Amino acid sequence: MPVKNRFAELLPEITAWRRDFHEHPELLYDVHRTAGKVADLLREFGCDEVTEGVGRTGVVGVIRGKTDSKGRVIGLRADMDALPINEQTGVEYASKTPGKMHACGHDGHTAMLLGAAKYLAETRNFDGTAVVIFQPAEEGGGGGDAMVKDGLIERWKIDEVYGMHNMPGVPTGTFAIKPGAMMAAADQFDITVTGKGGHAAKPHDCIDTTLTAAQIIVALQSIVSRNIDPLQNAVISVCVVSTDSTAHNVIPHVVKLKGTARSLDPGVRDQLEEGIIRVATNIAAAMGAIAEVQYDRGYPVTMNDDQATEWAAEVARQIAGDVNMDMQPMMGGEDFSYMLNERQGAYIFVGNGDTAMVHHPAYNFNDDAIPAGSSWYAGMIESRLPAA
């Protein structure tokens, strides 16, 4: 089974959907136009059920196979939202909305899954039920979590769930996947250092918050290098430093730090949270200041099930001839992790070729990846629900 021939025929149509989504990017949960078009197309394809408004603006389509001897249900997921970036691709179908852009290829994911849905509704050559899931707010809004909390898994009785993302640098039309941790847990922290502001010429009358904050920033880097097992993976980055002073000669009363903490293992994640709170509060205390730490857990680790990874890789192998299973996990976050926490499944990368990296203003989804991507989505249904 190379690329399914039907997707070569459907390529102009799928490409047109993709470019239409690209021209009209929408952010987070505000994907009303995109979700509306997805729902209209699913109905036009003859899906057996189309439900809108799942997890606020998510869309779920149901396609029943020719038979259903075992009552098995497989979910396929795509994301629909764009990013707050000014597009610099120069393509004729570039974003019509300044400050919004499909810079992560979710336009491509949505179009590829629509293509697979059209094919599956035409052929229905499987035994069971395919559920196509279009989620909002992947880029920081937790739309995957919102759909799970809205009953996605139980309402549609999903047994396994699969997701796909394009990846620049991976050859077009090829795939990369690994068992275990694929993407990181992405948490954030806010540290407020309070001391005693005053005249910069009289530091002895102050409690210096900038010096305290500087010591905290340096000491936080000892958590990854000294507390975490060297064979594990973690990142702590302090990304924002701000004070209530704008003068050269005033020691500020308050300094605020903001940053991100990433990990691939639940135990390491606990160590990062504990460590950041311990280091910040105690360094501040040593300096006579007070540090308050707000640690917020974001997306969990995207954890591929071993068996499901092999099933997903086998379908990819049949399409592309080979699959890269030696890839390293990435420290970015992905909220498909909420669905993988509920059910057996896997998340795979499809190559976007030699393009700018995702989240870059010059990035563009590569339409040449569509036949492989749509074939993989459809192939997961036909291989996991073989026709009776």
Q: How far is the CB of 248 from Ni ion (least distance, A)?
A: 42
Shorter beta-carbon distance to Ni ion: residue 127 or 334: 334
Q: How far is the CB of 152 from Ni ion (least distance, A)?
A: 19
Shorter beta-carbon distance to Ni ion: residue 107 or 273: 107
- Separation in Å, CA 246 to CA 117, 251, 387: 56, 10, 69
Residue 365: name the closest of 106, 97, 8, 74 by CA. Answer: 106
Shorter beta-carbon distance to Ni ion: residue 104 or 133: 104
Q: How far is the CB of 104 from Ni ion (least distance, A)?
A: 3
Residue whose CB is nearest to Ni ion in the complex, by number? 104
Shorter beta-carbon distance to Ni ion: residue 104 or 301: 104
Q: How far apart are CA 78 and CA 336, in angstroms?
A: 9
Q: How far apart are CA 131 and CA 127, in angstroms?
A: 13
Shorter beta-carbon distance to Ni ion: residue 108 or 275: 108
Q: How far is the CB of 138 from Ni ion (least distance, A)?
A: 6
Residue 52: name the closest of 134, 113, 118 by CA. Answer: 134
Shorter beta-carbon distance to Ni ion: residue 31 or 104: 104
Q: How far is the CB of 256 from Ni ion (least distance, A)?
A: 29
Residue 304: name the closest of 270, 339, 351, 269 by CA. Answer: 339
Cα torsion 130, 134, 140, 146 to 10°: value is -70
Q: How far is the CB of 47 from Ni ion (least distance, A)?
A: 25
- Using CB under 5 A as the binding rule, whether residue 83 contacts Ni ion is answered as no
Beta strands 58-64 and 129-135, pairing class:
antiparallel
Shorter beta-carbon distance to Ni ion: residue 105 or 128: 105
Instruction: Show the tokens assigned to 333.
Output: 């976050």
Shorter beta-carbon distance to Ni ion: residue 104 or 191: 104
Select the span of 46-54, 103-111, 272-280, 378-386 touching Ni ion (CB under 5 A): 103-111
| Sign, Cα dihedral of 353, 356, 358, 363 | negative
Q: How far apart are CA 333 and CA 282, in angstroms?
A: 29
User: Which residues contact residue 246 at a Cβ distance below 8 angstroms, ignoring those fewer than 6 apart?
Assistant: none
Q: How far is the CB of 162 from Ni ion (least distance, A)?
A: 16
Contact 375, 15 (CB under 8 A): no
Select the span of 97-105, 128-136, 323-331, 363-371 touching Ni ion (CB under 5 A): 97-105
- Separation in Å, CA 78 to CA 61, 81, 145: 12, 10, 14
Binding residues for Ni ion, rule CB under 5 A, total: 1
Select the span of 24-32, 100-108, 110-118, 216-224 touching Ni ion (CB under 5 A): 100-108
Select the span of 32-40, 99-107, 175-183, 369-377 touching Ni ion (CB under 5 A): 99-107
Q: How far is the CB of 76 from Ni ion (least distance, A)?
A: 16
C-alpha Rg value of the chain to the nearest Å: 24
Axis crossing angle, helix 370-384 with helix 5-23, rounded to the nearest 10: 120
Q: How far is the CB of 100 from Ni ion (least distance, A)?
A: 15
Q: How far apart are CA 187 and CA 123, in angstroms?
A: 43
- Using CB under 5 A as the binding rule, whether residue 104 contacts Ni ion is answered as yes
Shorter beta-carbon distance to Ni ion: residue 215 or 302: 302
Interface contacts to Ni ion, rule CB under 5 A:
104
